Structure 1
Amino acid sequence: MGFTLVELLVVLSIISLLLTIGVPRYFHSVDLSREQVLRADLAAMRHVLDKYYEDHGVYPETLAELVSMHYLRAIPVDPLTGKADSWVAVPPDTPEKGGVADLHSGAEGKALDGSIYGDW
């Protein structure tokens, strides 16, 4: 009624074969999902910055100002760094226009398409 060593080895080899096929695809999907969330967060925050500029004629001094003025509920977490304070704020051309005209991710490294995260 027990299993022989050969049967156990066959089952373990089949399981390991399936894992070697499935695990890399899983991690690729997770990385792709993080990149898509990052792109969506950047697009939403840039849209909010534009709306703030339309309403006030200047950009906000900090991202926290967007939350305090109820343009955002909270500063989103960068899906690649896992932190809400890792966003890189880009100031406008002239300092009189405010402090944050654009945003980039603070993540280091390259995306799956070869572009650099900090350039997004």
Structure 2
Amino acid sequence: MRQISHRIQPWQRERGFTLIELLVVLSIVALLLSISVPKYFHSLDYSKEVILKENLRVVRKTIDQYYSDTGHYPDDLDELVSKKYLRALPVDPITSSAATWILIAPEDIKLGKLFDLHSGAQGATRDGVGFGQL
């Protein structure tokens, strides 16, 4: 009888990763994440500031258009929506709410109730300007 050799040939060896290889890969991934995650959150904050400034610009322009058309300022933001000057209430991206706007009345109350608006968010932009002062 012929005996069968159970010797494993190099090409028959099971393939897999060693613990050292896995640790090296995980450390590289951790290094890349530690570099990219802060930049990601910084860009999120920056984009919220840009959206807030644009929302304020659009609403202020709409208030001026409403005043030009009617001769008085609107009573609230809902009036701009109901008269089709805005499609929907703008959302403050910092607070993620449409209810946190601070409405500013004109000096002459007879002209209406909404002359300007500011963000009701706490904190400041990256430039140090308060959100409520934009």
Report the TM range for the smaller structure's normalisation.
Answer: over 0.9
After superposition, the C-alpha distances for 1:9-67 in whole angstroms (9 at most, x for unaligned) are 11110000000000000011111111111111100000000011111111111111111
Equivalent runs, 1:14-29 vs 2, <5 Å: 14-29=28-43
Letter in 1 for 2:110: E
Query: How much has 1:100 moved relative to structure 2?
Result: 0.5
The offset of 1:84, in angstroms, is 1.1
2:52 aligned with 1:38: yes
Matched AA of 1:28: H
Q: Which amino acid aligns with 1:25?
A: K
Gaps of 5+ in 2: 1-14
For residues 49-60 of structure 1, the aligned pairs below 5 Å read 49-60=63-74
Residue type at the aligned position of 2:58: A
| Over 3 Å off, 4+ runs | none
Q: Structure 1, residues 74-101: CA drift from partner, whole Å, max 9, x if none?
A: 1111111111111110111121111010
Residue 92 of structure 1 aligns to a residue whose secondary structure is coil
- Aligned residue for 1:87? 101
Q: Which residue of 1 aligns with 2:121?
A: 107
Structure 2 counterpart of 1:73, from 82, 87, 110: 87
Q: Distance in 2 between matches of 1:47 and 1:84?
A: 18
Question: Structure 1 regions of 5+ residues with no counterpart?
Answer: none
Q: Which residue is equivalent to 2:61? A: 47
The residue aligned with 2:19 is 5
- 3-state SS, counterpart of residue 68 of structure 2: helix
Q: CA RMSD in A?
A: 0.8
- What is the distance in 1 between the residues matched to 2:75 and 2:101? 14
Number of aligned positions between the proteins: 120
The two structures have a TM-score, normalised by structure 1, of 0.96
Percentage of identical aligned residues: 52
Larger Rg: 2
Amino acid paired to 2:82: S
